[in-house]
Structure 1
Amino acid sequence: MRIFVTGGAGFIGSNFIRYALSQDADVRITNFDKLTYAGNPANLADIEADPTTADRYTFLKGDICDHDHVTEAMAGHDAIVNFAAESHVDRSITGGAEFLVNNVIGAQIVFDTARHLGIERTLHISTDEVYGSIEEPDSFVEGDALEPNSPYSVSKASADLLARSYGVTYDFPITVTRTANNFGPFHYPEKVIPLFVTNLIDGRPVPLYGEGSNVRDWTYVIDNAAAQWLVLTQGTPGEVYNVGAGNELTNKALTYAILDRFDLRDEDAEAMIQHVADRPGHDLRYSVDTAKVRALGWEPAHSFTDALDATVEWYRANEAWWRPLKDSGASDRRGLVDAGSTGT
């Protein structure tokens, strides 16, 4: 199978590429990525250096908003996986235009090109944030209404509805996955877990939004990659699948879990927490029902505890990867230059 992956130099995309190449020796992947600030060729340096994968992986620098280039590059592939997106909520709050361009117009170009080329399978990667917030103990199912509350989530919800329209209007089904928060290796350090871990490695405080009562479901990125692969290869074309591991934690509980891995507890832990002004329109709780993807045979292979341990150790061992990003201002969000803001 020849797979055309957009945004494959990013966090989830690069982990998916690595996973997909490990699943089938016949898989060939073209990684089409614009290499914006969060797209990093170093994320896949091991794939390019490994003789068992190097000849099955091709990188093309390109913009999904460039119709002619997308058409030329996509031709000849059997499947499309669209990871390409602007993804950070804080960035969308300070400027939403590029989110609408890349996440909506770019998605439309990918979908339309796949339709005209007759690609057999198209998978669009979305987010649980399109549903908005939900109170305990309920969880969103795939048919629930979309009520996005940030410019980022609005752009992703728009692309989801666009995908639906391609099935209704053109009878060209595009499968969508709505994923919960991910964490793991190669995560750009503007997001909460790599930001907090790298801050603590440097002995710096961690910036916690408000009282830290917002709840997120955390999925190890390798488990998420396995879910995306399963949906791509065995899911029903045109359907929507929620993906989440069921590890719901308040941001404060997550913060304590990270601090604990640096032997910071009680008063020592509190001293390292910097409470900062809450994000505007901050959704209180995300929670998705994942029965549909689990019915395909997926379940997380890693516990949250083990995955967080592995993630912390990865950042300890790979300072050469994240240090240049931090030094160039990757963690400086919304005026919080000293500590960096949280992200989801």
Structure 2
Amino acid sequence: MRTELEKMKKKLQQSNAFLNNLIKSAVDGIIASDMTGEILIFNDAACDISGYAANEVIGKLDIRNIYPDDVAANIMKLLRSDAYGEKGTLRSFRTKIQKKTGEKIPISINAAIVYDGDKEVATLGFFHDLRETLEIEAELERTNTQLLQAEKMSSIGELAAGVAHQLNNPLGGITLFSQLVMEEYPLPEGAVKGLKRILDNANRCRSIVNELLTFARKTDNKIHPQDIKEILSQTLSLVEDQTLFQNIKIHRDFDEPIPLVPVDVQKIKHVFMNIILNAADAMEGKGDLSLSCWVSPKKDKVFVEIADTGPGIPDDMLLKVFDPFFTTKAPGKGTGLGLSLAYRIVQDHGGNIYAESTVGSGTAFVIELLLSPPDMKGPGHGR
């Protein structure tokens, strides 16, 4: 009899040891508490994610110390409903836990109520850190947005080319015949003023048509390794003495060593110039313009940021700033093609451009350029 009891005791000890090792070495964080909130189980993965040691938590902390705000109460409410699975279970629920430092970490949790008959005796949760997953999801979303924008730009580029060619001939006729009438016929002063207005507007239309053609035209890229800080400095030197910039304070943060970046220098200058002039215009000639560049942690990209202290751009408009013909400027002051062309140029370099803005604080445009861009020898590209 004693031998049988000893065997059963040994089996029980082995089973407990196995379960303890299973909990301890699980990849997911495991946390269990009784119905008062006292934590009973807190495995190694939970310690890694939270920053706590097990002996700081088990029997000492309340579950509400781990789940911030009302998260613990909300989880219990969901466990007692069937909103996220069967009653008593919760599957793949996204929430947050609070680290020892106070930082809140996004997690996905599967949880359950442990019953003794019909009585709730404990809760058990298996969770994993979502930070890396959320970064990947955000990157996929950015990539998808870029692809959609690129497709839209390509379609609009083809349309713009067709429209521009169709408009060129009638505009040429309007200009030519207006000039002929002014030169060949004696006209009253009012008629001359009217014809001059027609000529001015026709020339403005022609300017817009030329911008359309530039936007639609694919030209060769002359890619060579360039000093991006020098390109920024050269671009600034072309504009900083203009009247518009007299009351703008320019800040340069070019201290970090930057490797040479393979770009078409004239096209990248055009990108920088467009953003700098837009910034000065947004600030109405008064404020701070900050330019900075740095290398990504992976050493595969160079970032250029051009930031202003203007009025900022509302979120609904920020989504459209790279759309052709969209402009925040007053009527007659912009065609809405400058940033679209800048977007296309950066995309042609294998890079990315995006804007960040806070209404009332200003706007920053960030340009990402690859240090080793994809092969650009295909149609429309050259080295």
Under TM normalisation by the shorter chain, which class is it? under 0.3
Structure possessing the higher radius of gyration over alpha carbons: 2
* TM-score computed with the length of structure 2 as normaliser: 0.20
Greater relative contact order, per chain length (Cα 8 Å cut-off, separation 6+): 1
* TM-score computed with the length of structure 1 as normaliser: 0.21
Structure holding more strand per residue: 2
